[in-house]
């Protein structure tokens, strides 16, 4: 070796592969304002669409008069359901097996429902025209409370399906019922709860919220009449699925539809589904022959495209007197709004809610979910969580705290007693999942040691005594949450969307100079895929990450994939990337053997090269092999160096974490100050610790927003109260707490690189941790369960009800 030959460590460092804090390659364009978002797109002759919305939550449409709007100079057309009906486009299929009105036909079923679509030369004229459309309504009785949905005299909401006795998931119990779903051992659970020494039961509601990414949903549709081809740019978390759905709905052949998702300004589940704006833009472009842009405003975003949660969970736990759980029974009333447009894998109407047994060793459990219609917006998306997993985590983590309170046990101690033990993995849960791996007790101990848990409890005790003596008006709360996520949907045996298995894909091409282009079926919305996928390839193939371009979001060039949501990119797309890279490495090994004139079995891999065993000086680097792949392949071998992998995961992955939060509550103002928030996450193999930290910070901030203030609220008449950032809680840098992050690493045994996915864990674990902290503050005064969100008013109200204001 001479002195300019890099050491092995230097060679590893140069790759910028897995495990290093590689700087995000996306930032170069973002910090210069050179991101490329949908609304930045400008096409010759482009025109604009805008919606007329219903002011009523439930009303019959008597008449739509668009004549004044059509007469306004600059208005090109006004579409209503009457125009879409002959094309059979007035309804569109939803991911959940229901249909959703694209434009309201005879009735409106929620406030701000889309009634007409204006097409105009510019966005100002379109907005003017919206005001000129006159719609005559006859108001109808409204249901906003899901508990009143299935009463005897409830108004019929969905007249279009009122006589259907069967829904997409079996028998319907009532004309406003959507589905019933159950899992687990009902008889065993009922009997175990009956026999239990101690039981707790609580209605735990998770309020309706909205993901509200900073960029709203938007698209540009451009139909080329001559070629019969449609190009659709949009904010799509799942561009390939959008193309398939667009083809099924429009009857345009799939290969003649080009879907492009450019940079996306955050998604959080909001941008998975198909919305009326997309359909109307496509129709408008076909009708006018011009590109049509549709950009939601914030009110439209908060009130029409998507919502999350609205789950009303009655949880019961049976336990022994010394705190061992014996059974779990949960009934959920799920408010799906006016159309069942929930974005879940098709066979899972309640998502993966059956992760509700959490991180605990329940011998038996049973879950029943009833979905109902109400006069609220459709959506039911997974707002920064895998499908209905944050609802499940909130439910079990609150219920465990309530059980601890009843038993007079410390909540951390109760959890430790019941956590699944390391030697039980792979663990078969009572509700049907096989948890792949975990070391829960080690994580819990590390978290408790890090925050000085015992000391915090001592401090709390003395503060409670001081409060009772009247020396302070502040209560201290300590929130503990231990969560298990289920992500990476999913195995084709049980996960599909409209019949398409939920695999994901990677295609890697190595060019003669060793430069790489890799294309993925997933789609980043800020997660940094261009940075991290390149790191996986760099480590697998020994080529520097800086020489690897990652492309996503163009359905013409990327292999088919199901997209990015439910923390699935790393478990599925990341696995596909590693598997495709390994195919390439296997071929590279044969080429190297040919070049070195040895058998391929005489070679071993060393960071960025194949070397001859026992003679490391004789080696061929990947770069050299790449060149040879285009001119000196072994006889009979195809030239080139590329591979595609479609990865069907054998199982989900199960990230977990232990979170602890300390709050101080001012009982006179209701202000909750977060003193400390510690988050330990185990996402298996860590690809880029810096990006993981960013994901955790962001997810915790969203959890903070949900737990402490967010709510999409309707009044009794079906009016949405406050659907703008004036009222919908968006924490600024001032309110947002500082985050302490930590980790353990338990690689997934079935994932090629052992990674599990991380983006959503902090939301799943964060929400119950905040809620438990606020509840914990009031617990010693006899309070059992306080509903979210814990804003100042509600917290003050709790103090008032407990008689703390004298």
Closer of 183 and 730 to other proteins (Cβ): 730
CB of 151: closest distance to other proteins in angstroms? 38
Q: Shortest gap between Cβ of 4 and other proteins (angstroms)?
A: 32
661 is catalytic: no
List the one residue from 373, 739, 743, 778 that touches other proteins (CB under 8 A): 739
789 prior amide bond cis, ω within 30: yes
CA distance 706 to 696: 15
Residues 6+ apart with CB under 8 A from 122: 47, 48, 74
> Rounded to whole angstroms, how far apart are CA atoms 576 and 588?
18
Q: Looking at the DSSP assignment, which residues form a beta bridge with residue 199?
A: 318
CB 664 within 8 A of CB 466: no
Residue 26 CB, nearest distance to other proteins (Å)? 6
d(CA 199, CA 208): 28
Site mask for other proteins (CB under 8 A), range 162-201, x = bound: ----------------------------------------
Please, which residue, 359 or 535, has the CB nearer to other proteins?
535
Nearer to other proteins, 174 or 697 (CB): 697
Q: How far is the CB of 29 from other proteins (least distance, A)?
A: 7
Least distance to other proteins from the beta carbon of 136, Å?
A: 28
Answer for the pair 769, 480: CB distance below 8 angstroms, yes or no: yes
738 is an interface residue for other proteins by CB under 8 A: yes
b/e string for 354-387 if b means 16 or more Cβ within 10 A? bbbbbbbbbbbbbbbbbbbbbbbbbbbbbbbbbb
CA 772 to CA 793: how far, in whole Å? 18
Residue 698 engages other proteins in binding (rule: CB under 8 A) = yes
Decide whether 91 or 728 has the Cβ nearer to other proteins.
Answer: 728
298 binds other proteins (CB under 8 A): yes
> Residue from 167, 234, 266, 276 that binds other proteins (CB under 8 A)?
266
Site map 20..39 versus other proteins, x via CB under 8 A: ---xx-xx-xxxxxxx-x-x
Catalytic residue among 20, 385, 661, 769: 385
94/218 with CB nearer other proteins: 218
Asked whether the CA dihedral 679, 685, 688, 689 is positive or negative, the reply is: positive
Choice between 33 and 44, CB closer to other proteins: 33
Catalytic one of 237, 535, 589, 710: 237
Shortest approach of other proteins to residue 535 CB, angstroms? 17
Q: How far is the CB of 231 from other proteins (least distance, A)?
A: 19
Specify whether 384 is catalytic. Answer: yes
SS3 536: helix
Size of the site for other proteins (CB under 8 A): 54
The least CB distance from residue 36 to other proteins, in Å, is 8
Q: Which residues contact 535 (CB under 8 A, 6 or more apart)?
A: 16, 17, 18, 20, 22, 545, 687, 688
- Within 714-733, the residues that bind other proteins by CB under 8 A are 724-726, 730, 732-733
Q: Give the integer Cα–Cα distance in Å for 59 and 768.
A: 38
Sign of CA dihedral 82, 88, 93, 98: positive
Which CB sits closer to other proteins, 725 or 793? 725
Contacts of 647 (CB under 8 A, 6+ apart): 503, 504, 505, 506, 572, 573, 575, 576, 579
The torsion angles phi and psi of 337, rounded to 5 degrees, stand at: 75, -155
Residue 301 C-beta-side C-alpha neighbours within 13 Å? 22
- Residue among 214, 248, 454, 586 that touches other proteins (CB under 8 A): 214
> CB of 796: closest distance to other proteins in angstroms?
23
> Which positions from 226 through 265 interact with other proteins, judged by CB under 8 A?
263-265
Among 83, 215, 439, 681, binds other proteins (CB under 8 A): 215
Binding mask 123-162 for other proteins (x = CB under 8 A): xx--------------------------------------
Q: Which of 202, 585, 760, 769 is an active site residue? A: 760
- Burial status of residue 592 (CB atoms within 10 A of its CB: 0-12, 13-18, 19 or more): buried
Half-sphere exposure of 665 (CA within 13 A, CB side): 33
- Smaller CB distance to other proteins: residue 262 or 752? 262
Longest dimension (CA), the chain: 91
Query: In whole angstroms, how close is the CB of 733 to other proteins at the nearest point?
Result: 4
Beta bridge partners of 137: 61
Q: How far is the CB of 444 from other proteins (least distance, A)?
A: 24
CA distance 333 to 373: 11
Phi/psi at 764 (nearest 5 deg)? -60, -45
Check residue 701 for interaction with other proteins (CB under 8 A): yes
Residues 505-534 that bind other proteins (CB under 8 A): 525-528
Strands 257-260, 218-224: pairing kind: unpaired
Nearer to other proteins, 37 or 605 (CB): 37
Binding mask 652-691 for other proteins (x = CB under 8 A): ----------------------------------------
Write the burial class of residue 102 (CB in 10 Å: 0-12 exposed, 13-18 middle, 19+ buried): buried
760 flagged as catalytic? yes
- Catalytic residue selected from 384, 415, 568, 611: 384
Report how far residue 316's alpha carbon sits from residue 364's, in angstroms, rounded to the nearest whole number: 12
Nearer to other proteins, 155 or 722 (CB): 722
Please give the residue ranges that form the binding site for other proteins (CB under 8 A).
23-24, 26-27, 29-35, 37, 39-40, 42, 123-124, 212-216, 263-266, 268, 295, 297-299, 525-528, 693-695, 697-702, 724-726, 730, 732-734, 736, 738-739
Catalytic site residues? Answer: 237, 384-385, 760
């Amino acid at each position: 070796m001479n002195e300019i030959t890099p050491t092995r460590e230097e060679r590893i460092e140069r790759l910028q592969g897995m495990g290093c804090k590689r700087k995000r390659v996306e930032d170069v364009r973002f910090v210069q304002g050179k991101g490329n978002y949908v609304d930045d797109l400008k096409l010759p002759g482009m025109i604009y669409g805008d919606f007329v919305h219903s002011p009523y939550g439930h009303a019959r449409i008597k008449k739509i008069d668009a004549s004044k709007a059509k007469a306004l100079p600059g208005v090109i057309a006004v579409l209503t359901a009457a125009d879409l009906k002959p094309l059979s486009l007035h309804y569109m299929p939803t991911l959940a097996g229901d249909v959703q009105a694209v434009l309201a036909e005879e009735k409106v079923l929620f406030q701000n429902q889309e009634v007409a679509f204006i097409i105009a030369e510019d966005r100002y004229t379109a907005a003017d025209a919206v005001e000129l459309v006159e719609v005559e309504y006859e108001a109808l009785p409204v249901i906003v409370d899901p508990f009143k949905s299935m009463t005897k005299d409830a108004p019929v909401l969905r007249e279009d399906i009122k006589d259907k006795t069967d829904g997409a998931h079996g028998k319907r119990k009532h004309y406003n019922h959507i589905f019933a779903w159950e899992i687990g051992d009902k008889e065993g659970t009922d009997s175990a709860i009956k026999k239990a020494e101690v039981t707790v039961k609580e209605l735990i509601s998770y309020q309706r919220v909205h993901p509200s990414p900073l960029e709203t949903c938007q698209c540009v549709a451009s139909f080329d009449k001559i070629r019969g081809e449609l190009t659709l740019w949009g904010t799509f978390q799942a561009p390939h699925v959008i193309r398939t759905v667009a083809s099924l709905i429009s009857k345009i052949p799939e290969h003649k539809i080009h879907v492009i998702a450019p940079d996306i300004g955050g998604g959080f589940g909001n941008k998975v589904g198909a919305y009326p704006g997309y359909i109307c833009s496509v129709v408008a472009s076909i009708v006018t022959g011009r590109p049509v842009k549709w950009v939601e405003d914030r009110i439209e975003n908060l009130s029409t495209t998507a919502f999350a949660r609205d789950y009303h969970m009655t949880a019961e736990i049976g336990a022994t007197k010394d705190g061992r759980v014996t059974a779990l029974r949960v009934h959920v009333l799920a408010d799906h709004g006016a159309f069942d447009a929930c974005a879940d894998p098709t066979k899972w109407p309640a998502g993966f809610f059956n992760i509700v047994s959490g991180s605990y060793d329940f011998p038996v459990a049973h879950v029943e979910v009833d979905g109902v219609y109400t006069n609220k917006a459709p959506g039911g998306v997974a707002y920064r969580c895998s499908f209905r997993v944050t609802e499940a985590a909130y439910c079990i983590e609150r219920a465990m705290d309530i059980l601890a309170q009843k038993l007079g046990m410390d909540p951390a101690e109760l959890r430790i007693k019941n956590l699944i033990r390391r030697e039980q993995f792979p663990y078969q849960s009572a509700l049907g999942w096989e948890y792949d791996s975990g070391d829960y007790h080690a994580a819990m101990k590390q978290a408790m040691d890090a925050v000085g848990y015992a000391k915090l409890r001592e401090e709390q005790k003395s503060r409670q005594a001081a409060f009772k003596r009247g020396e302070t008006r502040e209560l201290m709360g300590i929130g503990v949450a231990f969560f298990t996520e289920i992500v990476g949907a999913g195995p084709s045996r049980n996960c599909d969307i409209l019949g398409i298995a939920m695999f994901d894909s990677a295609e890697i091409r190595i060019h003669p100079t060793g430069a790489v282009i890799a294309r993925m079926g997933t789609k980043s919305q800020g997660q940094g895929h261009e940075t991290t996928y390149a790191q996986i390839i760099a480590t697998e193939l020994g080529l520097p990450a800086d020489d690897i371009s990652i492309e996503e979001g163009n359905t013409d060039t990327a292999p088919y994939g199901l997209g990015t949501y439910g923390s699935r990119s790393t478990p599925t797309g990341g696995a596909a990337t590693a598997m495709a890279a390994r195919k390439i490495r296997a071929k590279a090994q044969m080429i190297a053997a040919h070049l070195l004139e040895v058998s391929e079995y005489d070679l071993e891999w060393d960071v960025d090269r194949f070397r001859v065993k026992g003679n490391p000086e004789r080696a061929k680097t990947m770069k050299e092999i790449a060149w040879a792949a285009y001119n000196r392949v072994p006889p009979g071998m195809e030239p080139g160096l590329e591979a595609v992998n479609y990865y069907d995961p054998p199982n989900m992955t199960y990230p977990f974490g232990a979170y602890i939060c300390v709050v101080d509550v001012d009982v006179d103002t209701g202000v909750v100050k977060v003193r400390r928030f510690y988050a330990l996450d185990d996402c298996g193999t860590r690809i880029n610790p810096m990006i993981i930290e960013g994901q955790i910070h962001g997810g915790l901030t969203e959890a903070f927003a949900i737990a402490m203030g967010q709510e999409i609220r309707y009044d009794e008449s079906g009016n949405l109260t406050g659907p703008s950032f004036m009222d919908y809680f968006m924490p600024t840098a001032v309110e947002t707490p500082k985050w302490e992050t930590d980790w353990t690493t338990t690689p997934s045994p079935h994932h090629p690189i052992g990674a599990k996915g991380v983006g959503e864990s902090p939301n799943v674990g964060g929400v119950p941790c905040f809620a438990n902290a606020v509840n914990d503050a009031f617990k010693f005064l006899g309070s059992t369960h306080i509903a979210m969100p814990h804003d100042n008013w509600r917290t003050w109200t709790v103090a008032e009800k407990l008689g703390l204001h004298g």
